[in-house]
Amino acid sequence: MKRYSQYTIEVGDLWDVSFWKKADTMDLIYIVYGLFIVILVVVSYVLGALSLLPHNPQEINLELLMAPPNTAGHLLGTDFMGRDILSRLIIGIQAYFLPGLLAIAIALTAGTIFGVLAGYWGGGLDTTTTYISNLLNSFPRLVLILLMVAAFKPDIYTIMLVVGVTNIPAVASLIRSKILFLKQKNFIEAAMALGLKSWVIIFKHILWHNCRAILIIQATLGMAEAILMETSLSYLGFGVQEPTPSWGNMVQAGANYFMQGNFWPSTAPALAILFTILGFHLLGDGLNNILEGKRG
């Protein structure tokens, strides 16, 4: 039992740092909000897939046009054709959820492969991947998709494939710089000196132990990206077409009524987009701050 001098400070004594200054607290709030949104989206997706909806999203009710929220059993009101907005919002998730997952899967898988190739083996591979990613980054994504639309009249899955492919460089460069960082810390050399096989080092030590946070964060941000893309395209009329609802075409369809002062049918899906994208962004950044220690 060692005795220490009188200045030994005990944990309980300190810290009257105000709420705002505790970066961690803020990050936790970000994450909690983000997780709430993620759960809401997933649950709604499942409900939509099982058709467990408060109303039939396609049921037209000419008696009850553009009802405000909470009228006659319509929790979020009705749109310009008397259709239940809540049900349409829930069904609207079908438009981006699976396609978004596809985009994420492509970006993460291929991004990881290219990142490892460039970072671990480096050399000519590194230069080549850099050029390819510069090339992909040269296209404004929406313009590239319009080009694809003109060329192939693709469906939403094909479009999300393009979104995924154009996201590859971002993921790859993150993985690559992480590996370079580990190299610089002689981490990889040490692992090799232990006689570990390359694939063990790559999969277990690099990807699993050091890159999973990056991948989770990128998946989160990728979903935000997918939602943005789908809503923009549906808004432009190239995505999901009326009467099948998607958040983007719901905003668009409500536009004329918006100009006449009936804000709600357009605003409800717009708010859904806002809160959902916000949730994914905050989740990604909050995780980044805590897992990758950006704010120390």
Partner 1 sequence: MKLSAIRPIALLLARELAITALLILGVSFVVFIIIYLSPGDPFGTLLKGQTTLPNAPENIRGALGTPPAWYAQYLSWLVNMVQGDFGTSTRTGLPVLNEVIRVGINTLYLTIGSMMVTLLIAVPVALFAARRGQTPVNWVLTMLAYVLSALPVFWLGYIAIYISMHHFGLFPLAFASSAQKWSWLYFMFPVLVLGLSNGTTSEVVRFLREEMSRVFSEDYIRTARAKGASIWKHSFKEGFLIPITEIIASKIPFILGGAVVVEQVFNWPGMGRMAWQAAQDRDFPLIMGITLLAAVFVRMGSLLQRFVHILVNPRASKE
Partner 2 sequence: MNSRPVLKIENLRTFFYSKGKRAFVRSVDGVNLRIGKGETLGIVGESGSGKSVTALSIMGLVPGEPGVIIGKIGLKTDNIQKNLLQDLRDYVKINMSTGRIMEVYKDNVGWQKNVDRVMQGIRGTEIAMIFQNPKLALNPFIPIGKQITESIRINTPIKKRSQARERAMYWLAKVKMDSPRLRYYNNPYGLSGGMCQRAMIAMALSSDPSLLIADEPTTGLDATIQSKIVDLLADLKSSVGVTTMLISHDINVIKALSDNVAVMYGGTLLEHGPVGIILSAEHQAKHPYTAALLESIPREKHIREKGYLQAIKGDVLDTINIPLGCRFYSRCDKVTEKIQEKCDNHEPDLREISSGHSLRCWLYYE
Interface ranges with partner 2 (CB under 8 A): 2-9, 11, 13-18, 21
Distance between CA 235 and CA 254 in Å, rounded?
11
Q: Hey, which residues between 129 and 158 contact partner 1 (CB under 8 A)?
A: 131, 134-135, 137-144, 146-153
Candidate list 172, 273, 283, 287; residue touching partner 1; CB under 8 A: 273
How many Cβ atoms from other residues are within 10 Å of residue 170's Cβ? 19
**CB closer to partner 2, 21 vs 153:** 21
Residue 285 interacts with, from partner 1, partner 2, none (CB under 5-8 Å by kind) = partner 1
Q: 3-class SS at 163?
A: helix
Report, in angstroms and rounded to the nearest whole number, the Rg of the chain calculated over CA atoms. Answer: 24
Q: Which stretch binds partner 1 (CB under 8 A): 78-86, 101-109, 178-186, 226-234?
A: 226-234
Q: Hey, which residues between 80 and 109 contact partner 1 (CB under 8 A)?
A: none
CB of 9 to partner 2, least distance (A): 5
What's the start-to-end Cα distance of the chain, in Å? 33
DSSP class of residue 13 equals G
* CA angle (206, 289, 201) in 5-degree steps: 5
CB of 1 to partner 1, least distance (A): 40
DSSP labels, 61-99:
-TTSTTPPSSBTTBTT-B-TTS-BHHHHHHHHGGGTHHH
Residue 139 interacts with, from partner 2, partner 1, none (CB under 5-8 Å by kind) = partner 1
CA distance readout (Å), 121 to 9, 110, 117, 136, 175: 49, 16, 6, 22, 13
**CB closer to partner 1, 201 vs 283:** 283
C-alpha closest to that of 80 among 255, 274, 270? 255
- Using CB under 8 A as the binding rule, whether residue 177 contacts partner 1 is answered as no
Residues near partner 1 (CB under 8 A): 20-23, 26, 131, 134-135, 137-144, 146-153, 224, 228, 231-232, 235-238, 251-252, 255, 258-259, 261, 266-267, 270, 273-275, 277-278, 281-282, 285, 294
